[in-house]
């Protein structure tokens, strides 16, 4: 399967712990996006990469959040000192070019529960 994959699918952690999620985009897709989705809401944009460069970050992305995309392939999203409000589904998407027209292909998401 050559779709977007995310790991882990589920993560339960205690408040104050650090967590890291991984996203593998569709190969040769040079744009990669991270979103957060809470129950009953649509995805909220967090950040995106054009190849290895992080081009935009939402104000939702506090200093406890950091994302990387070394070598322009897979990406990681780390949350430090997790809080209960961080509980959400974290979605990754990729698209083949910088054109706004292009469809974003979504992964299955990582569901984070902070106890």
11, 21, 23, 33: which one binds other proteins (CB under 8 A): 33
Burial string for 15-51 (b: 16+ CB within 10 Å, else e) reads eeeebebebbbbeebbbbbbbbeeeeeebeebbbbee
Q: Helix or strand or coil: residue 93?
A: strand
Considering the rule CB under 8 A, would residue 2 count as an interface residue with other proteins? no
- Residues numbered 75 to 94 that lie near other proteins (CB under 8 A) are 91, 93
Q: Which of 46, 67, 113, 59 is nearest to 86 (CA)?
A: 113
43, 67, 77, 82: which one binds other proteins (CB under 8 A): 43
CB 64, min distance to other proteins, A = 23
Q: Residue 18 or 102: which CB sits closer to other proteins?
A: 102
75, 82, 94, 104: which one binds other proteins (CB under 8 A): 104
Q: Helix or strand or coil: residue 115?
A: coil
Q: Which of 35, 40, 38 is nearest to 104 (CA)?
A: 35
Q: Residue 3 or 8: which CB sits closer to other proteins?
A: 3
Q: Rule CB under 8 A: which residues touch other proteins?
A: 3-4, 33, 40-45, 56, 91, 93, 100-101, 103-104, 106-109
């Amino acid at each position: 399967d050559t779709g977007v994959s995310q790991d882990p699918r589920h993560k339960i952690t205690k408040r104050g712990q650090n967590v890291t999620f991984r996203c593998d985009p569709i190969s040769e897709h040079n744009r990669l996006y991270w979103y957060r989705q809470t129950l009953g809401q649509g995805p909220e944009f967090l950040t995106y990469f054009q190849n290895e460069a992080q081009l935009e970050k939402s104000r939702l992305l506090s200093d406890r959040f950091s994302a990387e995309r070394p070598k322009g392939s897979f990406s990681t999203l780390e949350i430090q000192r997790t809080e209960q409000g961080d509980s959400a589904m974290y979605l990754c998407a990729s698209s083949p070019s910088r054109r706004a027209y292009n469809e974003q292909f979504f992964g299955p998401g990582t569901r984070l529960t902070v106890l």
